[in-house]
Amino acid sequence: MLLQRTLTALLLAPLVIGLILLTPTWLFAPIIALTFLAAMWEWTRLSGLKKTLSRGAVLTVTAALLVLSWLVRDLSPWWPLLIGVGVAWWVAVGQWLRHFAFGAAPTRENSLMKLGAGLLVIVPAWVAAMSIHGSGEHGPAWTLLALLVVWAADIGAYFSGRLFGRRKLAPTISPGKTWAGVYGAFVAGAIVTLVGGLLLDVSGAKLAGLLVLSVLTVVASIVGDLFESLMKRHAAVKDSGNLFPGHGGLLDRLDSVFAALPVFAAGKLLLGL
């Protein structure tokens, strides 16, 4: 499984990096919107929707919200506000994880609640990605750095967890995750952030702030991963889909990214980077 996951990642990584660095934001926006909408399609399944028509209606609403978000991008308070909503949402998710049985029953009310949660996962993450990517000459590089922090944290967590993992992080939700994995994620994320920050000419207090942001971004990525694991447990499925061999579906690959992007974007704005 590790070999399969590695080969898939090696195939996809150059495509993603090229897309980020070589695509202007006006073209990057719809491509990422389609990707996020595909993830939302998987989310509707985890939420309990089975009818294609109902799932399509949710997808239409999500697409409309993304288009509306793009149209208000130049109205100064809206994108920072939406990014802030995303950050606040992931703080709230931390509380949901503490009460993991909340919303587990397959009722209509819980399904609607999870669909609303899906909108709070997808829309702020897309706005955050566009905000970072369109933030000037180095916007694409900053976008790549945000993703590299998440990817490095995932790799660091995997290997440190395998080597040193004893104490479980959230055994009821995701038995494979350990506190040693969390520490490895922090170290890997900080190393990538330090190198990336220096390459982007960040120094002094702002570099120190960026390192703090890397820790918060990694925390958010872990929360995002755990939240999707919780939704899969509620839905009694192993993966959100089977699009990528060894990796599952889009949600299985993007769960950490969805949570990390609003935090990274908010921190970047606050640091004036």
Tens place of pLDDT per residue across the chain (273 aa): 556 666 666 777 888 899 999 999 999 999 999 999 999 999 999 998 989 999 999 999 999 999 999 999 888 899 999 999 999 999 999 999 998 889 888 899 999 999 999 999 999 999 999 999 999 899 999 999 999 999 999 999 988 988 898 899 988 898 888 999 999 999 999 999 999 999 999 999 999 999 999 999 999 999 999 999 999 999 888 877 666 555 567 888 899 999 999 999 999 999 999
Cβ burial, residue 62 (10 Å; 0-12/13-18/19+): buried
Q: What are phi and psi of 237, to 5 degrees?
A: -130, 155
Q: What are phi and psi of 238, to 5 degrees?
A: -85, -45
Confidence (pLDDT) at 18 = 93
The gap from C-alpha 94 to its chain's centroid, in whole angstroms, comes to 14
Confidence (pLDDT) at 9 = 66
Confidence (pLDDT) at 116 = 95
Confidence (pLDDT) at 247 = 56
248, β-bridge pairs: 244
Kind plus residue range of the DSSP H or E element containing 177 = strand 174-178
Confidence (pLDDT) at 264 = 98
The gap from C-alpha 45 to its chain's centroid, in whole angstroms, comes to 18
Confidence (pLDDT) at 12 = 78
Please give the single-letter amino acid code of residue 2.
Answer: L
Confidence (pLDDT) at 41 = 94
Q: What are phi and psi of 136, to 5 degrees?
A: 100, -170
pTM over 0.85: yes
Instruction: Count CB neighbours of 145 within 10 A.
Output: 24
Given a contact cutoff of 8 angstroms between Cβ atoms, the answer to whether 227 and 98 are in contact is no
CA gap 212, 214 in Å, rounded = 5
Confidence (pLDDT) at 165 = 80
Confidence (pLDDT) at 8 = 66
Given a contact cutoff of 8 angstroms between Cβ atoms, the answer to whether 265 and 131 are in contact is yes
